[in-house]
Structure 1
Amino acid sequence: MLATAHVDLLDLFLHFLTLSLLSIGGAISTAPEMHRFLVGERHWLSDTEFTSSIALAQAAPGPNILFVAVLGWNVAGLSGAFAAMAGIMLPSTTLVLAATRWARRNKDSLGVRAFSAGMAPLTLGLMLATGWLLAEPYLRLPEHRLATLALIAGTVLLTLKTRLSLVWMVLGGGVLGALDLV
């Protein structure tokens, strides 16, 4: 970590706040601008520290956005991690909360109903595509094919016939996988 005496935490926070509004596709899409700012302009990190921060965070379990906290930590310790994470998370979190509350208040309006109806097939399609990508390698293996198909069928049935939370189904799938039953 470079000397933190010269780090302006407000500047760090405001820069990441701005990047949050540009991070279509996730915070990683703004990594080149983060590099320009942290390494090239402010010299708060070296190239190696920047690259290592991202590599460490991407290798660790958890959300991909954790690399922002690691960058902030390497710039200014705990206060740097907090400033960077608050900056990158605040706009998107505020937008989601405001949009959700607005949609809930206006749930009977034609526009909100049309948006919800239009998003349902898109969401379903994306979920099916993700499910296919995750299941397809196991469907190719004869020793896993039957168990994978049974797990898919069971999940679909539980989803359609019960109000069981998807979290429990994911947990159940994880347990079956850990026991090498799938």
Structure 2
Amino acid sequence: MTNKKYTLKDITLYFLKLGTWGFGGPVALVGYMHRDLVEEKQWLTEEEYKEGVALAQLAPGPLAAQLGIYIGFVHYGLLGATLAGLAFVLPSFIMVVTLGVVYQLYSGLPWMREIFYGVGAAVIGIISISAYKLTLKSVGKVNLADIKDNWLLWIFYLIAVVVTVITQQEEVVLFIGCGLLYMVIKAPPAWIKKPNTLPVLFFTSAGFWNYSKETLEEIGLFFLKAGAFVFGSGLAIVPFLHAGVVNDHHWLNENQFVDAVAVAMVTPGPVVITVGFIGYLVNGFPGAGVAALATFLPCFLFTVILAPYFKKIAKNSSIKAFVDGITAAVIGALVASVIVIATRSIVDVPTALIALASGLILIYVKKVTEPQLIAFAAILGIIIKNIL
């Protein structure tokens, strides 16, 4: 473990800011953490960051939130994990509950689709750049020398891209398989070399306070299941939420569910915070609180329980190879998430141009920040939809 280069207050304030201004969903958020904490501030080493990504992908729940919890844990244990997780999730939770109040008061958010028209396209540009940078850092540069040296990682990466695009969900079995295969090839552990040795595996307005106790219990159980059994990013949890919220429980109709996803995309922080908006529409503020708590609690518990063991064994060469293999597949899946989201957000020439311009601006205009870009895209979306 490296020496502490930051205080508990520093890391908590960082995640509070990231939760307030971090647009773009899991791909962008994971990229921001790498850029800010590994490259610029150097609070974490590349190895610690990779360990966090691998553990976050192996445990169920939202990827970005788990990585944030793990980063809080690295130097400050349970208290750091708790404060980082709360600071990361709280701003977006407050925002979606506020939007839920507005939604209930004004019977829907037709203007939200106009905003999402521009914002959704800009988000594609933002997360494309983040995914590209993560690819260079975790898999290698796109040149013959690096591809030759890391050819197996590139194969894992490409397989994950193809599988995720086709299935539109992230396959944890694929990630584990890539990790195990890379470990066996690059740094086989002693128990493989010696078959007789057994391995040890560590595996106050419209309806604000109105709620039904019975429905609250149903919400708690459903979102606890969502948090405990859905792996990967917000992309993975959305189909699960749709099946339960719209088809099984009939809590929301199709339009309301689309609005809920739009709210998650135009607010900063983890995309899965849409559960707070859904919970509010179904059962007021108590529903929002229970839905958010039930969704994030499993990933918090998994992370803080597994992290101490994961950190102790992560320095082993075999485990490092396992982590490298998983990381390559995870980054491939995140890149595929960009492709899948792009097919839904890039719907015509204007959205394609907004996405392209957003990516180019982030590369060449250093003074422009992601929140400024999102705000401009929202205004542009409203103008285009009302004029055209």
Is the TM-score greater than 0.5?
yes
- The answer to whether the Cα contact below 8 Å between 2:313 and 2:319 also exists between their aligned partners in 1 is no
- The answer to whether the Cα contact below 8 Å between 1:27 and 1:88 also exists between their aligned partners in 2 is no
Please tell me whether residue 78 in structure 1 is matched to residue 285 in structure 2. yes
Alpha-carbon distance in 1 for matches of 2:242, 2:327: 34
Distance 1:103 1:4, change over 3 A: same
Task: Report matched runs for 1:155-174 at 5 Å.
Answer: none
Distance 1:28 1:82, change over 3 A: farther
The match for 2:266 is: 59
- The answer to whether the Cα contact below 8 Å between 2:227 and 2:296 also exists between their aligned partners in 1 is yes
Question: 1:23 Cα deviation (Å)?
Answer: 1.8
The TM-score with structure 1 as length reference comes to 0.58
Q: Which one of the candidate residues 165, 173, 178 is aligned to 2:368? A: 178
- The answer to whether the Cα contact below 8 Å between 2:211 and 2:283 also exists between their aligned partners in 1 is yes
Distance 1:45 1:177, change over 3 A: same
The match for 2:320 is: 116
Distance 1:178 1:93, change over 3 A: same
**Superposed CA offset, 1:108-150 (max 9, x none):** 7x5xx521354257658959x98xx9xxx89x97xx9xx86xx
- The answer to whether the Cα contact below 8 Å between 2:246 and 2:257 also exists between their aligned partners in 1 is yes
For 1:81, the aligned partner's letter is A
- The answer to whether the Cα contact below 8 Å between 2:275 and 2:288 also exists between their aligned partners in 1 is yes
- The answer to whether the Cα contact below 8 Å between 2:265 and 2:271 also exists between their aligned partners in 1 is yes
For 1:64, the aligned partner's letter is V
The match for 2:219 is: 12
Task: Report matched runs for 1:21-40 at 5 Å.
Answer: 21-40=228-247
Of all paired residues, the percent bearing the same amino acid is 21
Distance 1:7 1:43, change over 3 A: farther
Other structure's SS at 1:178 match: coil
Question: 1:95 Cα deviation (Å)?
Answer: 0.8
| Aligned length in residues | 139
Alpha-carbon distance in 2 for matches of 1:84, 1:104: 31
Please tell me whether residue 45 in structure 1 is matched to residue 252 in structure 2. yes
Alpha-carbon distance in 1 for matches of 2:283, 2:314: 44
- The answer to whether the Cα contact below 8 Å between 2:234 and 2:270 also exists between their aligned partners in 1 is no
Distance 1:35 1:103, change over 3 A: closer
The TM-score with structure 2 as length reference comes to 0.30
Q: Specify every segment of 5 or more residues in structure 2 that has no aligned partner in the other structure, as ranges.
A: 1-103, 105-206, 339-355, 370-388
Report the RMSD for the aligned CA atoms in angstroms. 3.7
Q: Specify every segment of 5 or more residues in structure 1 that has no aligned partner in the other structure, as ranges.
A: 149-173
Question: 1:105 Cα deviation (Å)?
Answer: 5.1
For 2:319, the aligned partner's letter is F
- The answer to whether the Cα contact below 8 Å between 1:7 and 1:76 also exists between their aligned partners in 2 is no
Q: Per chain length, whose mean CA-contact separation is higher, i.e. which structure has more relative contact order (CA < 8 Å, sep 6+)? A: 2
Alpha-carbon distance in 2 for matches of 1:178, 1:53: 28
